[in-house]
Structure formats: structure tokens, C-alpha cells
A and B are shown apart, each in its own frame.
Chain A
């Protein structure tokens, strides 16, 4: 989802004659919190021992993402990303650290649902069941084929995508000499 957003925004900025070289000037305050969040999630993926701490580590990684976004609150795109991340965070926090996914949506998106053996889809996702809370904020929006990368998105994801798109567009905008 992020790969497509970033490519789309880069494409759009080329069409709008933005300066891609401006990308090297991007500075995200507290970027190392994003890095740490990434490391925590990779640890969860790779170290099976940590499964017992899945929930607190997941929450911690989201908190550090939110902290980094919060540090950049002056940028409006970052605020939009913050809102999206916060919506996803709420869904995850209320569902044992997992993002619930709609079964119907999965089917619609062309996913082979019969291959699922349990409600846990992968490390970070599970199926929406009776006990799922806040379904509205879960992955309920299917992006089906013929889209080359069929997937399930949440409402928060759309905020994140819009924010990232705007962030990159803003970054590549040729800056006029400040008066």
C-alpha cells in the first residue's frame, strides 16, 4: 500500500514538474522512532519467543510511530498520517494487537480463503469474528483484481496514504526563494 502511494506521488510530482532532488532535503524529526518501530515489528516476525509479548510490543511500536508523527505535527500531511495511524492503532489495540480483516472482503479481493486454517491470517492480521471490536476501523475495504496488487485496506490506511502522498508532493515542490 505504501509502495504504491510513494510511486504514485513520485509519478505525480514528475508530471507536475516538481524537483525530485528536493527529496534529499526531507527531514523527519525523530525518524529514529520509526526505525525503532520497524525493528520491534521485525523482532516480532522473526523471534518466535517474543510471541508471548506480542501485544505490548505491538502497542509500543505503534506508540513510537505516533510519537514520531506527533513530533512533526507542524506539517499538515504528517497530521493526516497521524490520524490514519491512530485509527489503525485503535483497531489493533482493541483486538489483541492484531488487525482484523473482513472475510467477505478477502473473498471479494480474490484471496484464496479456503487455504486459511485458523482465524489468524498472518503475524499481524486475523479474521473478523463475533468478538471483534470496532469493525468499522478494521481492514474492510477490498481492493480487488484486476488491480495488480489486490489487498484489504482500512479507513486509517486511506488517511495514511493521503498523508504520505501530500507529504511527498510538498517535499518535491520547487521552493521559491523566500521573501
Chain B
């Protein structure tokens, strides 16, 4: 991969800062005895190795718990060493291969280690400067350390993302990441406090006692995530089968997914809801399996009876999805994706806020893609024509606010197209 110069400079600056910070901390604070250092380093490396990638692409690691525990029991020096070693000695299993520091790109390791040193180091200093003392537990400094760690960690990460993917607005991408991980980091921080209390009360043995159940919980969570992705893969295969059957709509689901995601992000929907929209977009027409091929691929207008038959796909789809435990929460989106803002849609004729926002967004994306792709009974509209149609239908068929955001996005894209062709 070719990395942009900006990213290299960024990593370089971070590394220099991390080295300076580490030097400052080393010269001002001391380490506990060697066995304790090794104990915490091993614990941190193990917990970092057991990283779980969540469905939304964010990796959840519990190694932060060990960094925080180190800040409390022994101060920033131990925390920095343990934080750096948690990445240096970790082994992550990726597609049957182990990734470790020797087979990861150099700049990536450098960024991660620098980032961990800065987060843990500053959190440790904040802990001490706000009245926390080494080897004792006090609440406010500990909470401040948790906040500052999560704050710095996500800030450095989102700055990297902004540089890598050329995003403009670092603040919004930061807020997005922060919102997604903040609660998790609080929970992991709580584990860290429990580890520290156990260590101060009973020593390393008690820490291992707490670590066992943690590993077990992580294992079952991993199984859940695996099962979930197996489910999703099965359903996507099913969806491909559906697209093969209805040739005119091939690629429809993934395009709708793209548009719907764009709108969801433009209106600042939470990551949770956006994820739901993504899955619902892929599966929104799954109910068409229950509809006869003759009707689906008919090259001319449908009779009233046939149209009524087509309309059933929303209900059929919702029923199929309802049967899958972890997809239940998107069945409403699928059920409602043909409802109209003015209440003239189907299957129930819901209107305005009776329709879930996710379904309203999906329906705009669906309508737009249907217009811009060719159908058995008509030619595709151009992007400009489709835009005019969307404008016309905002507030009647389509949710006015969401439609407005989508129109803005489309106009920006059209501008870009015009510029490129000039």
C-alpha cells in the first residue's frame, strides 16, 4: 500500500512526541519490581491479542483495562511500558494466520505503539496531577484518567483516518468514533479498576482470578460474532440468488446500501442505526422470493392483481427476517420500506413519523436507484432527471428532511461529475 506523505509525517510527529513523553516519564517516575512489570506486560499482551473486531469495523480490546490498572497501582512509567508492550507482543489471528509485529508494516506498528504510549502516558500524568496517588485508589482522578485516555486514543485514531481517507471534517469523524466506543471504554475502564483493586488487595493471584471469567466472556462473545457473520453470509448468498433470478435488479441492493448509508451519515444517525440500515438495505427485497418470476420479470404493465401480488414482498420479507433472531430489529425497516410520507404507501399506509426513520431513508435510496436503473417496462432516468423527481416527491412520497439531505448530496456529486468532464 502506498501511504500518503501526510500520513507519514503525522506518524513521525506522533513518534517523536511519544519518545519525548516517554523520556519525561522515565526520568520522573519509577518502576515497581521486575516480576510485577513482566506480569502486567504479559497480561496486556494477552488481552491485546484477544482483540475482537465488532461488526461495525471497530476493534474492541480489553488491554486498556491493564493500562488503567497500571496507572493506579504503579503510575505512568509502568503504564507506558505496559501499553507499548501490549502492541509489541500481541498476536492477532487473522484469517488463519497470526499477525505479529514482524509481519505488520513498520509504520503501522510505529503508529500504534506511539498512540498507546501517548494515551497511557498522558492519562497517567493527568491521574497524578489531579490528585491521584500511586498505589491508592481515588475515584475522581481515576475517572479523569479514563476520560482522557479514551479522548486521546480516539482523537489520534480519527486524525489518522482523516488523513488516510482524505476526509475533510476531523471533528465529525472523531465524534463518530468516540460515540461508538465511549461506553465500551467506560466498561473496560471499570474492569481496569476492578483489576487494580484486586491487585492491591490480594496481589497477582486475584487478578488472574478475575481474568479467567473475562477470557471466557470474550470467547463466548467471539462465538456470537462469528455466528452472526455466518448468518449474514448465508443471507447474502440468498440475496445473490435472488438477484440472479431477477436480472434487472442485479447490483440494486448494494447500490441502495451505498445511498442509504450516505443519507444516514449526512443526517448524523447513530452508528447502531446506520448499521441496521446497511443490513436492511442488502436484504430489503428478500421478500421477492415469494413472488412468481412471471410477475417480477414482466416487460409490460402489471394488472391490479399482479401489482397487489408484488406489494406482498414487503410483508414476506419482514416475515423471513423476523425468523432470524439477531435480524429481528431490521424487520420493521423491511416491512415499511414502501410506506410513503403522505400515507399512500403499502402495506399499511403509515404516514409521517409513524414510519421509522431507517425505513424512510431506505425508501429514498430505493426509489432513487429504481429510477436510475433500467426496468423491464422503461428505460433508466439520468441522474439529473432522477434528482428532479426526488425534489418533486420530497414531502409527499419521501420524508422531506431526509430527501433534502439526499438532494444536497446528489447535487454535490453532480457538480463533481461536471467538473471532471470539463
Contacts and interface: CB of A to CB of B under 8 A. Distances in A.
A147 interface: no
B201 A64 contact: no
Interface residues of A, number: 20
B191 A36 contact: yes
A170 to B, nearest CB: 18
Contact of A30 (B183, B191, B200, B332): B183
B137 A40 contact: no
B193 interface: yes
Contacts of A39: 194
Contacts of A64: 190
Contacts of B139: 56, 59-60
Given A30-B183, A43-B198, A47-B202, A56 B348 contact: no
B186 interface: yes
Do most interface residues of chain A lie in helix, strand or loop, or is the interface mixed?
Answer: helix
Interface residues of B, number: 19
A22 to B, nearest CB: 13
A178 B350 CA distance: 12
Interface string A32-75: 11001001100100010110010011011000100100010000
Interface in B386-413: none
B187 A50 contact: no
A15 interface: no
Contacts of A40: 193-194, 197
A179 interface: yes
B187 A36 contact: yes
A36 B138 contact: no
A2 B263 CA distance: 45
A43 B197 CA distance: 9
A43 B199 CA distance: 12
Contacts of A49: 200-202
A113 B228 CA distance: 57
Contacts of B190: 33, 36, 60, 64
Given A36-B194, A64-B190, A71 B137 contact: no
Contacts of B348: 179
B317 to A, nearest CB: 14
Nearest to A60: B139
B197 A57 contact: yes
A59 to B, nearest CB: 6
Q: List 10 A-B pairs, minimum CB-CB distance, nearest first.
A: A56-B139, A49-B201, A47-B201, A36-B190, A53-B137, A32-B187, A179-B348, A50-B201, A60-B139, A59-B139
Interface of B: 136-139, 183, 186-187, 190-191, 193-194, 197-198, 200-202, 332, 335, 348
26 contacts: A30-B183, A30-B187, A33-B186, A33-B187, A36-B187, A39-B194, A40-B193, A40-B197, A43-B197, A43-B201, A47-B197, A47-B201, A47-B202, A49-B200, A50-B197, A50-B201, A53-B136, A53-B197, A57-B137, A57-B197, A59-B139, A60-B139, A60-B193, A178-B332, A178-B335, A179-B348
